[in-house]
Structure formats: C-alpha cells, structure tokens
Amino acid sequence: MSYFDAASSAPLHPVARQALHASLDEGWADPARLYREGRRARLLLDAAREAAAEAIGCRPDELVFTTSGTRAVHTGIAGALAGRHRVGRHLIVSAVEHSSVLHSAEAHRHAGGTVSEVPVLRTGAVSPAAYTDALRPDTALACLQSANHEVGTRQPVAAVAEACREAGVPLLVDAAQSLAWGPVEGGWSLLTGSAHKWGGPAGVGVLAVRKGVRYAAQGPADERESGRSPGFENIPAVVAAAASLRAVRAEAAAESVRLRELTDRIRARVPELVPDVEVVGDPVDRLPHLLTFSCLYVDGETLLHELDREGFSVSSGSSCTSSTLTPSHVLKAMGVLSEGNVRVSLPLATPAEEVERFLSVLPRTVAAVREKLGAPAAAVVTSTPAASPAPDELVVDALGRRCPIPVIELAKVITDVPLGGMVRVLSDDEAARLDIPAWCEMRNQEYVGEEPAPRGTAYVVRRTTP
C-alpha cells in the first residue's frame, strides 16, 4: 500500500517513535514539582521546548505546547484579538485558510467582530497588495497560512508581514504544512503548527507568540504553559514531537529536492496520460511534496475508492467526497475545477518506483470511472449529426443530480447547438457554480453566466468552438 496523504497526517517518524518510548519512563511525573521525578520531567519538557523553538525560529519562552494544531490556532487568534481589543475588532484572513482559522473567524463574527476575507489568485496565493488594502485602523489581527494545505502553494508571508508591521498589526501564520521544510521567513508575530503534520505524534500543537505582541489568554487561568495552554503536559508526546521536527529538518534539504522531482514528474505526466485534467496550484512556488489535479467527468469519491483498491491512499477536495456536497472552499476561492479532484502528498522516503506505479495505474482508473458514469472518454466530444437543423438553444435538466453529472450532460450536448448557440444547464448542485465555468475554460467555450430558475440555477454556456 502506498500512502500518498502526508498533508493530512504524516507517518510517525522513527525518531519520534524512539523518543516517545524513551521518555515514557522519565516524563510521567508533574514537571511543576520539585522532587526528583518532577525535575526529570521538567528537564525533558525544557529540552523539547528549546529544540522546537530553535527549529521554529523563536525564543523558548515564546513557545508553548498545545493539545493540537487546531487548538493552537484557536488559542492564538482568541488571545491576540483580546490583547488588542482597544485597537478594534477587525480580523483579516485569506480565503484559503485552514478550516480552524475560518472557524475562529466565524466565531469572532458571531461575537460582534468584523472579518475581511482576502481573495486569492488562480494559483491559490494572495496578492500582497490586496492584503495591504484590507488593513484598517481598527484591524486587531491578520492571519495568513505559510503554504496551502490542499494545493501546496506557498504564500508571500514576508511581504504581508512587512505590510502588517508598517501598519502596526500582528500577523498570525498557520505553518502546519511548511514547518517540516524550514522556518517561516518574515516578521511574523504569532505562529502555529501541528506535530502530526511533520511526523510527530497526534495531539501536540505549537503556539509561538513573539515578545512585545499584545496577548491576553482566554478562559480560566491556568499555571501551565505560561497560562496559554491549560492542562497537564503530555511530556512523552511533546518530546517525540520536538525530536521528530529536528529529525525531519535534518533530512529536509535532500528530501525536498528528491520529492520535488517526483511531484514535478506527476505534474507533467498526468495531463499527458489522462485527457481533460487540470493541474492546480502554483507550479513553482509550492511545497515540494504536494500537488493537486482535477479530472473532468469524474466522481471524486469513486475515484478515491478505485485508487485505494489499487493500493494508493490519496485525498480529495471534490464536493462529491464530502457529506456537505459543497466544493472545497480552497478550490472555490481559486476558481478552478473541483470534480474528480486528487491531492497527492508524498511522505519522506517515498520510493520513485511507487510514483511510477501510480502513473501507470491512474489512466485506466480514471477511464473506468468515466465509463461507469457514461462520460465522454476522450478530450474531443462528438455527437450524432441531427436530421433537422440544430436548435439555437438547448436546456439540460440536471436538477437533483450531483457532480460530475451536470458537466457530463453539458459536454454531451454542446455540439448539438450551432456555433453561437446556447446551452442552459439547470442544476441545484453548488459544485456546478464552480465546475461549469472551469469546464468552459478548459474546453474553450464561453461561460455567459448564471440566471435564476424556478428550481436551482440556470448556468448559461455559449458554443464558441467546434
């Protein structure tokens, strides 16, 4: 079985396993106590904090351990907003932040605060100029991930941090996906991370708050972790997290080059091997181990199941793999195809042979899924010549049918109208709002727009190419 979903959770690093086992016998006592067992536990905790702080690029007394990366985000945002409540209650986030950031933003909005969401380019990156324009005199905090968790695009953190510094606004960086590859550049104010993303154990997060940043811990007071992360520290897990971060950093330079070569090969070969594929995200300024592509006329959930049967564990941002039946907010913000979406994120030490096997399996797997759905089997869609003159307009009723059926039905009939003719696709699937315009761009047809309909929405397409 080939595990290609390190962006969700990386396999436990051997160093983490060794450190975890070794510290179980020494790190069980209360590190706040002065007796021998407590002192031993304190030494382990302090050493772990120093190692993690060195890797992150902050002082040990600026770093606390939390119970997860999500908890670190929630704690960091809440504390920073509270610390600057006299300045204002305006929060800035990007449209492609991790759900933990967006959930915090929504809670802030419900509590009476205001939130600005900065849009992204088609690559998934924010424009520093757009981020700068979002800053206001009442901005209490800005948030920007270091790299996107779904498409791998790196964000211009240094430029945004400089704009925030000039405006006197702290910047919180969610660095969960990038910490394995190096420290975050730029003058960030707060930073969060999650150990299981870099090969440490689950249940350990990190929160760094620079000295001088106004911060007010929320919730009942607690004497542990500078009052910022209540509860008894899981010292063995913390030790394993710090040890694994140091270990992956030692391997990062060589593995970054090797894994980038492998993901570059996938990026180049998939469109050659599989018709009607869009590779999304920045092709250059991205994480070395992660790439995402979307396949037209494919049910994402079925594709993932079929790849699993072939021995590959991958993930997806397709709406048809989600219980909510809505597209990934990241793909939606980028304005790219969401159906048949596959994210490949390679763990450290992934053999090149497994990547080659993936490339050999993918074409027939996609073709089989398309055949089951009755989708076009090739990039060129043809239709049977009509016995009578082609109508200038057709209506496709795809109400009640989920992705990728609305796009499949559109593809089947587009050549049944003359050049300049229109097709109206009736759909009540949220994914159609994203996938039909993306299909038009890929097939060189004109997306006219959407119109209200008695049920759902009418998506209007004009045929402009044969």
Annotated catalytic sites, by residue? 320
Polymer length of the chain: 466
- Token pair of 453 as six digits: 């309909």
Q: Which of 2, 1, 33, 45 is nearest to 346 (CA)?
A: 2
Tokens 């059926």 belong to residue: 405
Contact partners, residue 44, CB within 8 Å, separation at least 6:
23, 26, 27, 31, 235, 239
- Token pair of 451 as six digits: 């119109």
How many angstroms separate the CA atoms of 322 and 329, rounded?
12
Tokens 């991930």 belong to residue: 145
Contact assessment for residue 298 and residue 339, using Cβ atoms and an 8 Å cutoff: yes
- Token pair of 150 as six digits: 């779904």
Q: Tell me: cis bond preceding 327? Omega within 30 of 0 counts.
A: no
Q: Which of 99, 5, 97 is nearest to 289 (CA)?
A: 5
Q: Which of 176, 172, 116, 117 is nearest to 143 (CA)?
A: 172
Listing DSSP states for 364-388 in one string gives HHHHHHHHHHT--SSSS---PPPSS
Q: What is the chain's alpha carbon radius of gyration, rounded to the nearest angstrom?
A: 25
Give buried/exposed letters for 173-209 (b at 16+ CB in 10 A, else e). bbbbbbbbbebbebebbbbbbbbbbbbbbbbbbbbbb
Handedness of CA 356, 334, 110, 81 (dihedral sign): positive
How many angstroms separate the CA atoms of 4 and 7, rounded?
8
* 139 beta partners: 90
State CA 25 to chain mean position distance.
37
How many angstroms separate the CA atoms of 237 and 234, rounded?
6
